[in-house]
Structure 1
Amino acid sequence: MELDKKRKAYIFSIEEQLRLLDLITKEKHIIENKTTNKLTNDEKDQAWQRVTTVFNAVAIHHRNMEQLKTKYDNLKTKTRKIVAAQKNHVKGTGGGAPINDKLDPVVEAILKIINIKTVVGFENVFDSENDEFVNSGMDLNITDLPVMIINDDNISNDINTEIENIMPTCTEENAVTLMICNCLSI
């Protein structure tokens, strides 16, 4: 029974963490592959085995593959929490001390490895205050809009002053604009 008990491992030093992340960066295309089938899982196991072999060749403390995988997963989780805290602080209101913008070298190394969308999330393109939404409106040319001209030949105080609507001719480019203009003039 005592053999089943896990022995407490040594704490990873910063150098060991950076070394692990450097090795993972070289195998990133395999390790971070989101496909899960027999072939890719076997490739991932082989990649982790290579990382473990190279890591233990120069490491002071011997680590097995499961320890390295767990450490990498924990580092990714920690990075996501740090980035989320910074993001929430920036979007927050009120006072308080500014958050430290300088990131730990381990966090920076993780951000270079993982997909940035898994850290910061997707932007809400449907938010009406989103810059892309505000700037994506129809760019109407002033020449495409209907022009109202007051007939000034016989200017009088009469209420029935003639008003002409001069509408542009219909082409494929301004068909939508003409539809809008026709609706407005009704």
Structure 2
Amino acid sequence: MAATPSKNIKLKKRSKNFSVDEILFIVEEVEKYSEIITAKQSNLITNAKKAAAWQKVVDAINFRGGVIRTVDQVRERYRKTCSKANGERIAQKQHRLKTGGGPPPPAKDAISEKILQLNDNAPNFVGIGGGVEV
């Protein structure tokens, strides 16, 4: 027998996708609080400051109007956008190291450029100086 959903269970309604303008605004807002958000400490006080900073970012996004976003949604979108930017940086580096010429690599978008600029010296983006890549 197939299980039928109970009438008391409410299904989550899917949010709209983030627009390019919304993602760019998230990056700009995170840039304002980047010292707090990217702090490496994880004690009680620092975590409270990080939560407050993320809440300020979400409040600014929700103040613009449109779709109401939660802290978890915004944090996840920012994390995925950073991952995409890092992937583009790696792809360009790999293309640059290939032999045989060929067409130039596709240009990075404005959001990726801004994220890479924001995380210019972060070891998780550019690696450890003097380290060997494997």
Q: TM-score, length-normalised on structure 2?
A: 0.82
Question: RMSD in angstroms over aligned alpha carbons?
Answer: 1.9
33, 41, 55: which is aligned to 2:47?
41
Unpaired stretches in structure 1, ≥5 consecutive residues: 127-186
User: What percent identity do the matched residue pairs reach?
Assistant: 30
The structure with the greater share of residues assigned to helix is 2
**Alignment map for 1:70-109 (pairs within 5 Å):** 70-100=76-106, 102-109=107-114
- 8 Å CA contact 2:82, 2:115 repeated in 1: yes
Post-superposition Cα deviations, 1:113-151, rounded to whole Å, max 9, x if no partner, equal: 22433222234378xxxxxxxxxxxxxxxxxxxxxxxxx
Opposite residue 54 of structure 1, the aligned amino acid is: A
Q: Which has the larger radius of gyration?
A: 1
- 8 Å CA contact 1:83, 1:120 repeated in 2: no
Task: Please list every run of at least 4 consecutive aligned residues from structure 1 whose deviation after the TM superposition is greater than 4 angstroms.
Answer: none
- Cα drift, residue 34 of structure 1: 1.4
Unpaired stretches in structure 2, ≥5 consecutive residues: 1-7
Residues 86/60 of structure 1: CA separation in 2 closer, same or farther (3 Å cut) = same
Q: TM-score, length-normalised on structure 1?
A: 0.61
Q: How many residues align?
A: 124
The structure with the greater share of residues assigned to strand is 1
Post-superposition Cα deviations, 1:144-180, rounded to whole Å, max 9, x if no partner, equal: xxxxxxxxxxxxxxxxxxxxxxxxxxxxxxxxxxxxx
Residues 14/95 of structure 1: CA separation in 2 closer, same or farther (3 Å cut) = same
